[in-house]
Structure 1
Amino acid sequence: MTMVYQDHYFLQRWVDYYGRQFGRQHLYILSHGGDPEHDRICEGANVIRIPRDPTLWRMERRRWGISSQFSAGMLRYYNWFIVGDVDEVVIVDPAVAPDLVTYLGRYTNGKTAPASLCPFGIELIHNPKAEPEPLADDQPILSRRRVFRANANYAKPCVLRKETGFSIGASAGPQGHARHHGRGS
């Protein structure tokens, strides 16, 4: 699940990537403002129109509140649910598993499976001297961008098996991630 306002380029990438992993029918896009281009990009997926308050009053708080509540509801239907920004994707190390479905499928016992997974976060950095080629729609991003840095802002519990209360920035608050793993986990 993602929530998006405009951001057509990244939405296309997000839908293509997760659509290949899980099937478009299992994708949920909260279209902030109801952009008609979102409907076109997300054909076959579940697009839910969210009104856009022009004042953006408490926008981040409301955004992560609805993400917490929506994911909690969807976990009544799915074993795992991924929540994140449209410009973020969860990629499995190919040395561990070929794809997310295979990786998550190894957790067959609901009692011993983790409540959430917190991927290692990296941020791709464009260095035009080292990587002069522009991104291409028909090529994986990593085929053109290989410079990155670790960034804790992108390491968050976004692959969920149990209800998680997100705070601003998708960090799990005291009633979320810590509730399932204890403080400091």
Structure 2
Amino acid sequence: MQTAAALTMVRDDAFFLKAWLAHYGTLLGRENCYIVNHGRGGMVAELAQGCNVIGLPGDPHRNFDIKRWRLLNGIVQGLRNYYRHVIVGDVDELVVLDPAAGTDLLSFLADTPAKRVLTPLGLEVIHRIDIEPEPITGPILGPRRHVRPAPHYSKPCIVSVPTKIARGGHYTQYSRIHTPDHLYLFHLKFCDFDAYCEVMNRRNDTVAATGGTVKEVSIGRHWFAEARGEDRAVFEAFAALPLREGFDMSATRRRMRRSFGPRGETGYFHFDRPEDAAQFVLPDRFSGLI
């Protein structure tokens, strides 16, 4: 049985797909990468050569996220028959192992027991446009050094047990929490101002084509133009976040473990996700990892 596979679904997001492929294609091998090509885009198929690509119709439709996660759940459980661990998530979310662990992600997963769900700690890479003027022409980390805590992206995304993942990937029906000390989920949505504007334009167009409301389309409100706000103001606001010294996330992980429990009567489990208005500078050891 192979150690690990990575799975995502994408439509036209070349910037994030390139980062996803560079990361998982290098760590796991492209033969262990699975990409659902929503809309059968030629750009996605070309970039993902050597991966396992599943083409889907791209007609606008409602209940998009419900259908998407229904499909991803099925693929995850199928891949579990061939891999010990399956990493699943959006194309702008990458699981990263802190180099301080002394090994790489694939070796870490090879030594991690199966029959569990791993929950990396979520960090959002933010583009400080006031002090980071250089464009992204290669690796993201290095030109971008600032992150903010993102509890909403502490997702149970590494699966090696039969379970159901909730829409959006935020919860599962697995009744325990495993959040290893060196494991992170980097959310890249805000890692580059120009890329953000391009992606948001496409997402606004996608949901507008369905003709539905937020509830009818069943996807995040941030995909809708009316909830977008002014792009430059969003990024300028990052400078006001208090800068914390060091890079110690142990207290956050302790809160995750202490607060873990049933999510009402839904059959899912979760932990408290308090907002933490702060930012950190990533240590140099992270530069070039993604």
Q: TM-score, normalised by structure 2?
A: 0.57
Q: Give the Cα separation in 1 of the matches to 2:43 and 2:94.
A: 21
Kept in 2, the 8 Å contact 1:32–1:51? The answer is yes
Q: Give the Cα separation in 2 of the matches to 1:38 and 1:124.
A: 24
Q: Would you tell me which structure has more strand in proportion to its own residues?
A: 2
Q: Give the Cα separation in 1 of the matches to 2:106 and 2:166.
A: 27
Residues 169, 37 of structure 1: alpha-carbon distance in 2 compared, 3 angstrom cutoff: same
Kept in 1, the 8 Å contact 2:153–2:170? The answer is no
**Residue deviations 1:40-98, cap 9 Å, x none?**
100100010012231x3100011111111110000001001100110110000111143
Matched residues, percent identical?
Answer: 37
Q: 1:130: which partner in 2? A: 131
Q: Give the Cα separation in 2 of the matches to 1:96 and 1:71.
A: 27
Q: Give the Cα separation in 2 of the matches to 1:53 and 1:167.
A: 24
Q: 1:11: which partner in 2? A: 17
**Residue deviations 1:8-36, cap 9 Å, x none?**
11111101110110100110000001001
Runs of 4+ that moved beyond 4 A:
none
Kept in 2, the 8 Å contact 1:68–1:166? The answer is yes
Q: 1:62: which partner in 2? A: 67
Which residues of structure 1 form unaligned runs of 5+? Answer: none
Q: Is residue 2:99 matched to residue 1:82?
A: no
Q: Is residue 2:47 matched to residue 1:41?
A: yes
Q: Is residue 2:169 matched to residue 1:170?
A: yes
Q: How many residues align?
A: 175
Kept in 2, the 8 Å contact 1:97–1:103? The answer is no
Q: 1:144: which partner in 2? A: 143
Q: Give the Cα separation in 2 of the matches to 1:177 and 1:149.
A: 27
Q: 1:160: which partner in 2? A: 159
Tell me the amino acid that sits aligned with residue 133 of structure 1. Answer: E
Q: 1:20: which partner in 2? A: 26
Tell me the amino acid that sits aligned with residue 123 of structure 1. Answer: E
Kept in 2, the 8 Å contact 1:3–1:31? The answer is yes
Q: 1:72: which partner in 2? A: 77
Residue 163 of structure 1 and its aligned partner are, at CA, apart by 2.5
RMSD: 1.6
Kept in 2, the 8 Å contact 1:29–1:46? The answer is yes
Q: 2:280: which partner in 1? A: none
Where 1:89 maps in the other structure, the secondary structure is strand
Tell me the amino acid that sits aligned with residue 100 of structure 1. Answer: L
Kept in 2, the 8 Å contact 1:157–1:177? The answer is no
Which residues of structure 2 form unaligned runs of 5+? Answer: 1-6, 178-260, 263-268, 271-290
Where 1:129 maps in the other structure, the secondary structure is coil
Q: Give the Cα separation in 1 of the matches to 2:102 and 2:170.
A: 26
Greater radius of gyration (CA): 2
Q: Give the Cα separation in 1 of the matches to 2:13 and 2:37.
A: 10
Q: TM-score, normalised by structure 1?
A: 0.88
Q: Give the Cα separation in 2 of the matches to 1:61 and 1:2.
A: 15
Q: Give the Cα separation in 2 of the matches to 1:97 and 1:6.
A: 36
Q: Is residue 2:109 matched to residue 1:104?
A: yes
Residues 57, 143 of structure 1: alpha-carbon distance in 2 compared, 3 angstrom cutoff: same
Residue 114 of structure 1 and its aligned partner are, at CA, apart by 5.3
Where 1:53 maps in the other structure, the secondary structure is coil
